[in-house]
Amino acid sequence: MTIRSTGNTSLDTITSLYQSNSNEETAKADDLGKDDFLTMLVAQLQNQDPLNPMEGTDFSAQLAQFSSLEQLMNLNDSMDSLASSFSNESERDLLEYMGKQVSGKVDSMQVENGTVSGGFFSLSENADVIVNVMDDSGQTIKTLYQGTKSTGAHLVNWDGTDTNGNAMADGTYKYAVLANTGYGYQELPTTVSGKVEGIAYSNEKPYLVVQGVLVDPKSLTSVVDIDDENMSAESVLSYIGNTISTDQPILSVENGLVSGSDLSFDLEQQEAATIKIYDAWDILVQTISIDEISAVQGENTVNWNAIGDNGYAVEDGLYYYTVETGSGTGSISVSEEVTGISYENGSQYLVLKDSGRLVSISGITAVN
């Protein structure tokens, strides 16, 4: 917009300021901004009654209003910049997970523009699988019969519709996985572990991509920074020859054999104990029980032959175990000399001399 000179020095000064501000910033067409306010003020001065001109106090008051408006507009711009800064900061925080080994609970799927992402489950043996999809209120909106699935990881096959075939609105939907290996349907834990491969957005919310699955950063249960990109070989080698302690000993199964000695644990008193063995997906693969007569106060050992509850050999890989008793839990802490380094799934583990157990760097509780 061009404003003609009026011959009034004060008015020309305001006009000049307006044109300068217009060159620096253009207001949104649908909003009344400070430029629009100034335009109306200039027009009012141009069209005032020359026999009854505006009082100086009125003019000053309108200029004060304009100044207040400008401050509010600048404050709004500052808040927009601050919000953008927070958004960028959040994304930078997520970038710190890139390349790290993480574990997280995955119990929801995202629907965006009719596309479904996020459903996942893992089986330790062949099983018939059913998936119940639920809405925000916890009501089942659809039951998915996935059929017989083989051992390993699988994505949930859902088309984003309810039982009646109606397309569901964009949003997040919880799900529960039930598996039947021949002993009835039991709910499976849905935990995914692996390296963070990227960051993806669904419904304007950021997720970590782990094994092709979207993982909410808030659902992470562990973050381990022990791969070659983040830890030099020299720092790992520094543990060789030292005695370390850990309460997270790891079992390694290779070619159907469990490396190292029997599983050991300590009891504060003589009582029955239940040893539960889990795979890297936190799926229970075997339960071993010892009665009170067979147990002793102090150190106990049990043998595991790498056979699962189904009577078949488990897959090669990493496993861990827990010990439960009537009075609480048994201690599985070990303290041994480190004699080697083992590479498993792209990560480095320390090898203990006597038991043959593996220890992650993050699992070390003491170094002697």
What confidence tens digit (pLDDT) does each residue in 284-314 have? Answer: 999 999 999 999 999 999 999 999 988 888 8
DSSP codes joined into one string, 52-110: SPPPHHHHHHHHHHHHHHHHHHHHHHHHHHHHHHHHHHHHHHHHTTTT-EEEEE--EEE
The 8 Å CB, 24+ separation contacts for 178-181 are 178/129, 178/130, 178/131, 178/132, 179/121, 179/123, 179/127, 179/128, 179/129, 179/130, 180/127, 180/128, 180/129, 180/130, 181/125, 181/126, 181/127, 181/310
**pLDDT surpasses 60 at 30:** no
pLDDT tens, position by position, 198-235:
888 777 778 888 877 778 888 787 776 654 444 455 56
Confidence at 161, pLDDT banded by 50, 70, 90: very high
Q: What pLDDT is attached to residue 277?
A: 95
User: Which helix (DSSP H) or strand (DSSP E) does residue 235 occupy?
Assistant: helix 233-237
Q: What pLDDT is attached to residue 131?
A: 93
Lowest mean pLDDT among 108-122, 261-275, 282-296: 108-122
Q: What is the mean pLDDT of the chain?
A: 78
Q: What pLDDT is attached to residue 269?
A: 94
Q: What pLDDT is attached to residue 86?
A: 43
The better pLDDT of the pair 145, 44 is held by: 145
Q: What pLDDT is attached to residue 181?
A: 85
**What structural domains does the chain harbor?**
9-95 (no CATH), 101-224 (2.60.40.4070), 233-367 (2.60.40.4070)
Q: What pLDDT is attached to residue 92?
A: 61
In this prediction, residues 155-160 reach a mean pLDDT of 87
* Number of alpha carbons in the 13 Å side-chain half-sphere of residue 324: 6
Q: What pLDDT is attached to residue 54?
A: 57
pLDDT tens, position by position, 244-261:
999 999 999 988 889 888
Confidence at 64, pLDDT banded by 50, 70, 90: low
